[in-house]
Amino acid sequence: MKKDLLLFTGFSTLVMLAPQLFSGGYLMNVLVFVGINTMLAIALNLLLGYAGQISLGHAGFFGLGAYLSGILTTTYSLNPWVAMPTAAIVVGFLAGIIGFPILKLKGHYLAMATLGLGIIIFIVFNETVELTGGPSGLSGIPNLKLAGISFDSDVKNYYLIWGFTLAVMLFSLNLSNSRIGRALRAVHDSEVAAQVLGVNARLLKVQIFALSAVISSLAGSLYAHTMTFVSPASFGFNFSIELLTMVVIGGLGSIYGSFLGAALLTLLPEFLRGANDYDIIIYGGLLMVMVMYMPGGLVRGIPALFRKIVVKGKAGNA
Amino acid sequence: MLRLKNINTYYGKVHALKNVSLHLGEGEIVTLIGANGAGKTTILNTISGVTPASAGEILFCKETVTALQPDKVVQRGISQVPEGRQVFKPLSVEDNLELGAYLRYRSREGKASIHKDMDKVFTLFPRLEERRKQLAGTMSGGEQQMLAIGRALMANPKMLLLDEPSMGLAPLVVQEIFRVLERLRQENGTTILLVEQNAKAALKLADRGYVLETGKVILEGPADELLENAEVKRAYLGKDKKEIWER
């Protein structure tokens, strides 16, 4: 327990000091995205890595949060601090209602159902032009304001987003170490065995699905208020797959793994800009190599690699 | 203590249990024997609420539990040790046991009594204590079976349903596990419903037995009578086949 607390404190300190270490607005902007993607990857990881239920429609929940926040603050001139929880509650309820029938499905069928859900949400964004602005998007979304400070610069946004991200991380770390976390892993391993021990597996799956949607919606709202502009293209099927990749590359069932996956997949394309047209090939190749040689994800692969090098080094010296 | 009245259960269109009636008195050990597909596991899952009955009634301590969800059944005091052990392999022994007490963490009784029960499980199966931090999936079949039983006991049940605890285990380990079941009855007065393929061992342990065939109870009686029954001997004990044929 103490070790966990130490790790989290260290991680938070590093996050809070980062703007002092790296300057430059562009990098700050990228790091804001790392924060948003970390929240999303954690949300999906709770569902996939802990409870063992796949979702290929999480970009949809992310988008719903962003659009609800956007519409409530522009068309209905609501305060962003009111719009954000309203959006989260609506998305949570929606996920709960949809979750009951679709979480009865397993494996490939659940993947198909959630895929369909994501696509439906995407189509709604595109087609309800009066409400969402259609394919050209929704602009003029206000920034968040707190005690006279408006979060309108990259550095301010960095602290805002990472404040939320750290809160989500702490909450998820606690959840995964609790009785509920154990029950989730039990459902993942054997639903029947979990049930005959008194875990209400069906309800628990719906609850974690709704929680995951609420976190995604929160990330979406934050995205809308920092970018001040949303369009359907950011919430398509491709992004759902990207989130899935972050979770798997980072490490299933690990909160810090979700951060590593999100960081890698957000930063890598930026670093590969210099490779011009070859960036996609290098990106794809790197992902393949990583899945082959680090099947447990970065969070387990990096320490293993480190041990290997250290052990080899010692053997070489002797 | 437990009474099944004309239970009928279906898997889709397949009629798996046909008017099954049986009963268990308090502190009794009763065994269900029968060939593959006779409906033994289905009876346990119907009692647990995993595959609910479509007709009939189940009474436990004079209250009906027929339509209850699995977690409510556990709350009433019936725990199942599922077929093939089904321990949570990526979790430690300790985590598995704590999961057995899942519903009790929410109630008011506090962690002290849960830890006391964990110590009780460790007295029954000392080998689990030696391995409390080990991952369940890395243990032998016998140890996993012990863990599965210990996990069910963590719910502090009045009645234990066991689905083929001897499956795939060495005869010595089976003996050890059956001795623990006997001890549970003596020390805690736990009522036990035991499903077994190993009919001989089960009938030696049990007070009474039911013989199932294609979803129906075809025979019932005291265990020692069933052990001597010619039909049971021919079909399930695999002995003296010739003798019976010649008679």
Could you read off the pLDDT of B79-129 as tens digits, one per residue?
999 998 899 999 999 999 999 999 988 877 778 889 999 999 999 999 999
Could you read off the pLDDT of A198-229 as tens digits, one per residue?
899 999 999 999 999 999 999 999 999 999 89
Min Cα–Cα distance to chain B from A180, Å? 9
Residue A316 covered by a domain: no
The percentage of chain B sitting over the pLDDT mark of 90, rounded to a whole number, equals 76
Rounded Cα gap, residues A250 and A253, in angstroms = 9
Phi-psi region of A66 (alpha: psi -120 to 50; beta: other; left: phi over 0): alpha
User: Which of A186, A189, A200 minimises the CB distance to B69?
Assistant: A200
* B41 at interface of A, judged by CB pairs closer than 8 A: no
Q: What is the pLDDT, as a whole number, of residue A297?
A: 87
State pTM to two decimals.
Answer: 0.83
Question: Pick the residue with more confidence: A221 or A312?
Answer: A221
The percentage of chain B sitting over the pLDDT mark of 70, rounded to a whole number, equals 96
* B155 at interface of A, judged by CB pairs closer than 8 A: yes
Contact B99 A200 (CB under 8 A): no
pLDDT over threshold 90, residue A87: yes
Contact A196 B48 (CB under 8 A): yes
Lowest-confidence region among B23-27, B159-163, B230-234? B230-234
Q: What is the pLDDT, as a whole number, of residue A53?
A: 92
Min Cα–Cα distance to chain B from A159, Å? 37
pLDDT over threshold 50, residue A254: yes
- Give mean pLDDT, residues A157-162: 91
Residue A55 covered by a domain: yes
pLDDT over threshold 90, residue A299: no
Domains of chain B: residue spans and CATH: 1-72+195-247 (3.40.50.300)
Residue A294 covered by a domain: no
- Give mean pLDDT, residues A154-174: 92
Residues of B with CB below 8 A from A187's CB? none
Q: What is the pLDDT, as a whole number, of residue A318?
A: 46
Contact A196 B50 (CB under 8 A): yes
pLDDT over threshold 70, residue B242: no
Lowest-confidence region among A142-156, A180-194, B107-121? A142-156
Winning range, highest mean pLDDT, from A287-291, B195-199, B236-240? B195-199
Total tally of structural domains belonging to chain A: 1
In the numeric block, which tokens belong to residue B98?
A: 């704590």
Residues B213, B38 contacting (CB under 8 angstroms): yes
- Domain containing A112: what range? 27-236
pLDDT over threshold 80, residue B195: yes
Task: Tell me which of A50, A192, A197 to substitute to probe the interface with B (most B C-beta atoms closer than 10 Å).
Answer: A197
Residues A266, A306 contacting (CB under 8 angstroms): no
Lowest-confidence region among A104-113, A172-181, A287-296, B144-153? A287-296
Residue A61 covered by a domain: yes
Q: Strand pairing partners for B29?
A: B192
Nearest CA in chain A to B44: A196
Does the interface predicted TM-score (ipTM) exceed 0.85? no
Could you read off the pLDDT of B184-194 as tens digits, one per residue?
999 999 999 99
Q: What is the pLDDT, as a whole number, of residue B247?
A: 45
Closest CA to A212 of A12, A1, A64: A64
Mean pLDDT, chain B, whole residue set: 90
Residue A269 covered by a domain: no
Min Cα–Cα distance to chain A from B154, Å? 9
* A195 at interface of B, judged by CB pairs closer than 8 A: yes
Instruction: Report which residue type is found at B182.
Output: E
Residue A14 covered by a domain: no
Residue A78 covered by a domain: yes
* B166 at interface of A, judged by CB pairs closer than 8 A: no
* B103 at interface of A, judged by CB pairs closer than 8 A: yes
Residue A108 covered by a domain: yes
Q: Strand pairing partners for B212?
A: B34, B217
